[in-house]
Amino acid sequence: MVKVTILGGGNLANHLISVFLKTEGILLQQVFNRSLHKIKKFEGQTEITDNLDSIRKSDLYVICVSDSYIETLANKISNLDGLVVHTSGAMSLDILTRHNRKGVFYPLQTFTKDKNVTFENIPFCLEANKESDLEVLKNIASKISKKVYAIDSNQRKKLHIAAVFVNNFVNHLYQVGEDICISNNIPFEILHPLIIETANKLSDLSPREAQTGPAKRNDQKTIAAHKEDLSTDLKELYSLLTEAISKTETHGNKL
Amino acid sequence: MVKVTILGGGNLANHLISVFLKTEGILLQQVFNRSLHKIKKFEGQTEITDNLDSIRKSDLYVICVSDSYIETLANKISNLDGLVVHTSGAMSLDILTRHNRKGVFYPLQTFTKDKNVTFENIPFCLEANKESDLEVLKNIASKISKKVYAIDSNQRKKLHIAAVFVNNFVNHLYQVGEDICISNNIPFEILHPLIIETANKLSDLSPREAQTGPAKRNDQKTIAAHKEDLSTDLKELYSLLTEAISKTETHGNKL
């Protein structure tokens, strides 16, 4: 039985607490958060506390707070023995300066409050400064997910950039699509099946193989007609993405 | 029983032929294509021909060819009576100049060769110059799909632009993500669940509500660190999309 302590009360912390509570082989023995009310609902299922001094000995301490607070919180628990990990895609392992045994336990997914999460298919990106601790993390992650990867800090940084492109930036393009629909009295739901299929295609085809449309076909007539219809900001975005697709067609991989 | 004739042998034509053949209340009486070999596989299930002069009287003629060839083909069959439609998201209804009864029968989806299509959830955008013909199209479309919309030529043009953003441009961002992964020895599949969840979120949240990430949080430190890691082209794309997200946060709808 691995004894685990979670520090944090946000979205991800809540999802991790829920899954750890129901996973065999894991004993979630304590949850700490500065505001007790955010973890109040777990009272009775695990010990909850807002007092760092009352944190007990555990095998694994999972720091699950916003990026800017990780270092401060880690330093406050530098007296504790055991493996200390954070859950951030953007922060290096080395941010945990005062701990001898440290690691990263990063589930690569976008978490929505109040929306149930099935961890089974969420990739866990793991790192530790000791090989034996990487094994500890792999063991725990594989209890809740089928997808477990060893990813070092440099790779994780790149992965985080890639995630910004395929999540935040993609979501912004969805929003552009919605804005265009709203302005023209078109229900945005018309585009949902296309959006889902575009994402699903990746299980069969690489994005390069899956690409279609006026930029790929170099259909200048359609491109010009589209630009005419767009506001200045959107025209700039349209042009840049169209050029980027054309360059890919001409030069292949551009990194 | 509605008698239907399809003209074309590409991806969409093939998918439409398949679904029409198995739909009750629709008689696919003939398929025309310039190259017979592309529709050869339907021989025995329907009449196939490469001769425009042998096209028989039908209730509905579906022109299902590339945008640039629609007008030419439509003009070649201007002698035929009946309702003539094209299936293009990008072309106006009026391109069918010589036909008295005309319409558009546009399934808004990205079609992949050899990949089975379930039309049931594909939105059909319909238009006709006569109200009674719009009803004919609605009747046929609702036999194969649950999602049927009346969309006029101007709306369809905007919808096509929106589709370029949420499909072609999104797919390009997937490719950027893949390129970053490949360059750093990271399996791209790590990002698949995030990509799928980002798309699926739209059934519960608007893109504005779903947005997260450094641009949304105005996290300048992370943004600067990301830019430092990117090539010139990608830096430009990153900056433009980051600015666009910031503007949305500040000013709301920007169209």
Which of B195, B201, B232, B243 to probe the A interface (max A CBs under 10 A)? B195
Question: According to the model, what pLDDT value does residue B248 have?
Answer: 85
Per-residue pLDDT tens for B205-217?
999 999 999 999 8
Residue with tokens 């028989």: B56
In chain B, what residues touch A119 (CB-CB under 8 Å)?
none
CA distance A238 to A206: 22
- Average pLDDT score over residue span B85-104: 95
CA distances from B254 to A242, B211, B237 (A): 21, 16, 19
Per-residue pLDDT tens for B51-66?
999 999 999 999 999 9
Question: According to the model, what pLDDT value does residue B115 have?
Answer: 76
In chain A, what residues touch B203 (CB-CB under 8 Å)?
192
- Weakest-pLDDT range from A115-124, A131-140, B2-11, B234-243: A115-124
Nearest to A171 among B171, B181, B210 (CB): B210
> pLDDT over 90 for what percent of chain B?
88
Question: β-pairing, B60-63 with B47-49?
Answer: unpaired
Q: Which of A207, A156, A210, A155 is nearest to B178 (CA)?
A: A207
The pLDDT of residue B10 is above 70: yes
Question: According to the model, what pLDDT value does residue B251 have?
Answer: 59
Query: In angstroms, what separates the C-alpha of B115 from chain A's closest C-alpha?
Result: 9
Check: CB of residue A123 under 8 Å from CB of residue A108: yes
Question: According to the model, what pLDDT value does residue A251 have?
Answer: 59
Nearest to A166 among B90, B194, B231 (CB): B194
Question: According to the model, what pLDDT value does residue A248 have?
Answer: 85
- Average pLDDT score over residue span A73-96: 94
Question: According to the model, what pLDDT value does residue B114 have?
Answer: 73
The pLDDT of residue A253 is above 50: no
Question: According to the model, what pLDDT value does residue A114 have?
Answer: 73
The pLDDT of residue B132 is above 60: yes
Which of A118, A126, A194 to probe the B interface (max B CBs under 10 A)? A194
Check: CB of residue B159 under 8 Å from CB of residue B89: yes
The pLDDT of residue B252 is above 80: no
Q: Which of A28, A64, A117, A150 is nearest to B193 (CA)?
A: A117
Question: According to the model, what pLDDT value does residue B253 have?
Answer: 47
Question: According to the model, what pLDDT value does residue A252 have?
Answer: 53
Per-residue pLDDT tens for A174-201?
999 999 999 999 999 999 999 999 999 9
In chain A, what residues touch B160 (CB-CB under 8 Å)?
226
Contact call for A244 and B253, based on CB within 8 A? no
Q: Which residue of B has its CA nearest to A187?
A: B149
In chain B, what residues touch A216 (CB-CB under 8 Å)?
168
The number of beta carbons lying within 10 Å of the beta carbon of residue A37 is 9
Query: In angstroms, what separates the C-alpha of A231 from chain B's closest C-alpha?
Result: 7
- Average pLDDT score over residue span B38-47: 96
- Average pLDDT score over residue span A86-105: 95
DSSP B101-169: SEEEEEE-S---TTS---GGGSPEEEEESSHHHHHHHHHHHHHH-S-EEE--HHHHHHHHHHHIIIIII
Per-residue pLDDT tens for B100-129?
999 999 999 988 777 778 999 999 999 999
